[in-house]
A and B are shown apart, each in its own frame.
Chain A
């Protein structure tokens, strides 16, 4: 289990996170939502261990994250950063193989193959990163993180993603989230994903955390947490809740000016 307990962070006198707690179980997708500046990325940095909280703690399997060695952490979690880099002269294959650095095991080669197959990046492997489209680059970075997790023999594994759909059109974004859900189930990986799109979270997340100005407004099963009145209060905008005729899809649309 991945668990953040009463995490507080302040930087330069500003409270970025105030006693935020959340739990991610392996095999499920947890989405973090909230307006710009709510502290979503900060929360992800704390959970990944890259930044330290001023108070509270994060536990991942049996590791206290902020005392863990980088190598031990890398065996348990992989992170897709918000602005993935594309160094000059690198091919997609070069990037994907960086996922193996944490644990160069014999399982490495098969992990690369599996990650490539899952993300459909076979054709991209020999191509230069800088020549790839935003969507293609995103897939290659996802392959890199999957490669890191699949090569690991840790008993619990987590995938953290910071706005992975930001550069994607809506069909690709939906495809990515579907894929993340499938990966979570198939490999028993816990997924923590920062999102801007409420409707993606509604359709693809098992649990949702709503953040506003650094404090947690609600956390729990997606359908329960994402209520119209609560979302309106958090985003400060009137919403219409639409339900498809067959009642299988629910969506929120902002109604500014109405």
Chain B
């Protein structure tokens, strides 16, 4: 199938979902019947929902592209951006900032810095070894240490701060304001482009480090470029929205079923799939028990995991 035949419907589907999420079913009906929306509704859409939907879409695109990158880099379909271990660094730093009563801007920047510091630690620890397993183990060790520090911090927090930390940890686009949404919306295409330009490298890495070297790539450098870009992508998302689980794992798989495993085609479609998933999940998080709201991470995992299992079974049948 020509890629365009898939990309266009995906983009249309994404636009439709975003519009639905912006207007709500009710608003959609009102617009369709030609009644128009009241000014307050427009204000809500412009100031609250638009940055939120934009942040959700950009976050989904980032997680999805990062997922494609780490799955290729680790040659493991179970890899997801969190595997590098940066989430724990971001979470601890964000929780610290929240506990100290910082505003959302500061929380964003601390979380991002925390994630990058964790990456740096993992890189220094895993540097002596050339195999990926050591890197994953180093990531796991760093995650465990930071995670226990986070638990310690949570146990010491007063109730008010605890609530905001917990909500942040569960992942939500609710806090996304225009500055955050714009940061994500600028980061997404930039990081994506840097990854997309490396599609031959991503393909070669899937064949193994030796094969990638034989095909003409500087493997060590390439692996770190890919890891860093994926960590950057995940870092932006986790800083803005907390832990949005499963999208970085599920979106690449879904995309692979649609376009195959070639990194070029995969990276073309993956951001659209990822954005579609997060925008949809965010809309569900807002509307399932409206006017109350669920953490979006709950939606992505609760719907994502069973869907993922179903997907794996389809895949199994396909090969049998």
Determine whether B75 belongs to the interface, using a CB cutoff of 8 Å to chain A: yes
Instruction: Report if B167 contacts A (CB, 8 A).
Output: no
Q: Does A6 contact B (CB under 8 A)?
A: no
Residue of A nearest to B255 (CB): A89
Residues of A within 8 A of B204 (CB): 98, 101
Question: Is there contact, CB below 8 Å, between B260 and A94?
Answer: yes
Known A70-B217, A81-B214, A90-B260; contact A131-B207, beta-carbon cutoff 8 A = no
A89 pairs with B261, CB closer than 8 A: yes
A245 vs chain B, min Cβ distance (A): 44
Q: Which residues of B contact A48 (CB under 8 A)?
A: 210, 213-214
The answer to the question of A85 belonging to the interface, with a C-beta cut-off of 8 Å to chain B, is yes
- On chain A, the residues within 8 Å of B319 by CB distance are 128, 130-131
- B206 contacts which chain A residues (CB < 8 A)? 85, 87, 90
Report chain B residues within 8 Å CB of A99: 215
List chain A positions with a Cβ less than 8 A from chain B. 45, 48-50, 69-71, 73-75, 77-79, 81, 84-85, 87-91, 94-95, 98-99, 101-103, 128, 130-131, 148
CB distance from B288 to the nearest CB of A (A): 33
With A98-B204, A98-B207 already in contact, the answer to whether A88 and B214 are too (CB < 8 A) is no
When the two chains form their complex, are residues A102 and B208 in contact, meaning their CB atoms are under 8 A apart?
A: no
Beyond A69-B218, A94-B260, 7 additional contacts (C-beta under 8 Å) are A70-B217, A74-B214, A74-B215, A79-B214, A81-B208, A101-B203, A131-B319
A148 adjacent to B215 (CB under 8 Å): yes
Q: In the complex, what residues of A have CB within 8 A of residue B207's CB?
A: 84-85, 87, 95, 98
- Asked if A45 and B210 sit within 8 Å, CB to CB, the answer is yes
- Please tell me if B200 contacts chain A, counting CB pairs below 8 Å: yes
Asked whether B102 is an interface residue with its Cβ less than 8 Å from the other chain, the reply is: no
Please give the distance in Å from B2's CB to the nearest CB on chain A: 14
Q: Nearest A residue to B219 by beta-carbon distance?
A: A70
25 contacts between A and B (CB under 8 A): A45-B210, A49-B213, A50-B214, A70-B217, A71-B216, A73-B216, A77-B214, A79-B211, A81-B210, A81-B211, A85-B207, A85-B211, A87-B206, A87-B207, A88-B77, A88-B261, A89-B262, A90-B206, A91-B262, A94-B261, A95-B207, A98-B215, A101-B204, A101-B216, A102-B215
Q: Which residues of A contact B210 (CB under 8 A)?
A: 45, 48, 50, 79, 81
